[in-house]
Amino acid sequence: MQRKYILPILLIVQIILVKTLALFPETIENYYSNGLYPILSKGLRLTFGSLSFSFGDVIYGVLIFLLIKWILKNRKGFFKNWKANGLWFLSILSIFYFFFHFLWGMNYYRIPLHEKLKINKEYALADLEKLTKKMIEKSNQLQLRITSNDSVAVINPYTEKEIFEMAQNGFHKLPKDIKKFDYHTKSIKQSLFSMPLSYMGFGGYLNPFTNEAQVNYLKPKYSIPFTTCHEMAHQTGIGSESECNFIGYLAAINNSDDYFQYAAYTTAIRYCLRNLEEIEEGKSKIYLEKLNKGVLKNFNENEVFWKEYQTPINTFFEYFYDNFLKANQQKDGLESYSKFIGLLIGYEKVGSIQ
């Protein structure tokens, strides 16, 4: 067999192997998520965590540059040499596919958290309304405690570096039944691509190849503590976006700092209101009226920011990431983010949530 065919064929083999292993979540849970992955994750974070910049972003930048250079160099006759170019592309994809799943991606196929915690994610309207009221009460209390004026928006006084340091405190105080997701060996960075991330509609991401948690530092700072905890949850070995929202929420509300708690409760409110609207249009209005004006100003700050970066680029990446999630055990795609509300409601009935 010619060497140029080896990696493309291995790509097919890898896809079959991954989809087969996905049928055995207990095996993934025991031997990868709680076996190999913690070793790989710790090693990567020890290697890159102490760097003051995002090494993964630098690598991405270099690869993007080389790709553009290659395309420009081969633009003439690109389709004429479609076979050779196609094999080259599949070879590169095969390498990425292997390292993505080996270093982190197999976590998509572990046992779902709601099954391990015996949580029923389904809930009634009354349950959602009860949670919404609780989140409003918590947010209003914190907003008033922080600002001493219910009409003033919360302004987070910490630097991003301070937020990254403080975020670990909440993970150390997670409830006993999810204590395995405690966080050690910090590797959290401001993304060098925060501007592109904003146009793509992302508040952060985990680099699966270096295990660095990347945070979009341009987004409203009041929400950054929650985003940080969400990305850190990915580092602990969670693939599901709803589960990362859930763990990130618990880490933030168990943090002793008011700004972390405020970020978590206000994030939960936004998802509660969105879910209420999905059930019945206009259902969220009566709850919005109960929020302090200062909280609403923070919500408006967030809305204005994302509207500023709303372009067809954002629409494209939403479509791409939605389908990427669906291809990786998250059948709800981008909607899976809001599914963490079901986890919160279910956990209140079996756990020790605040």
Residues 36 and 133 in one domain: no
The pLDDT assigned to 327 comes to 65
Return the minimum-mean-pLDDT range out of 161-170, 191-200, 292-301, 342-351.
342-351
Residues 129 and 82 in one domain: no
Give dist(CA 301, CA 308) in Å, integer: 11
Last residue within a domain, chosen from 61, 82, 109? 109
Tokens of 104: 């982190």
Give dist(CA 340, CA 264) in Å, integer: 12
**3-state SS class at 93:** helix
Last residue within a domain, chosen from 63, 90, 109? 109
Last residue within a domain, chosen from 87, 109, 131? 109
Residues 165 and 292 in one domain: yes
The pLDDT assigned to 72 comes to 81
3-state secondary structure 36-84: HHHHHHHHHHHHHCCCCCCHHHHHHHHHHHHHHHHHHHCCCCCCCCHHH
The pLDDT assigned to 286 comes to 93
Residues 217 and 232 in one domain: yes
Whether residue 317 has pLDDT greater than 60: no
Q: What is the pLDDT of residues 319-353, one digit of tens each?
A: 655 665 566 666 665 565 668 899 999 998 876 55
Residues 22 and 158 in one domain: no
Whether residue 310 has pLDDT greater than 90: no
Residues 223 and 313 in one domain: yes
Spell out the residues 6+ positions from residue 35 whose beta carbon is closer than 8 angstroms to its own. Answer: none
Residues 168 and 29 in one domain: no
Number of domain units in the chain: 2
Q: What is the pLDDT of residues 285-305, one digit of tens each?
A: 999 999 999 999 999 999 999
Tokens of 148: 């001493």
Residues 306 and 286 in one domain: yes
Whether residue 106 has pLDDT greater than 90: yes
Residues 84 and 138 in one domain: no
Residues 173 and 276 in one domain: yes
How sure is the predictor about 195, in pLDDT bands with cuts at 50, 70 and 90? Answer: very high
Highest-pLDDT range among 87-91, 95-99, 281-285, 348-352: 95-99
Given the structure tokens 């993970």, which residue do they identify?
Answer: 171
Return the minimum-mean-pLDDT range out of 214-218, 262-266, 322-326.
322-326
Whether residue 52 has pLDDT greater than 80: yes
**3-state SS class at 127:** helix
Residues 180 and 279 in one domain: yes
Whether residue 217 has pLDDT greater than 80: yes
Residues 70 and 217 in one domain: no
Range of the domain at 17: 3-109
Let me know: does 210 contact 59? Beta carbons within 8 Å: yes
Whether residue 16 has pLDDT greater than 60: yes
Tokens of 251: 């880490």
**Average pLDDT value over all residues in the chain:** 90
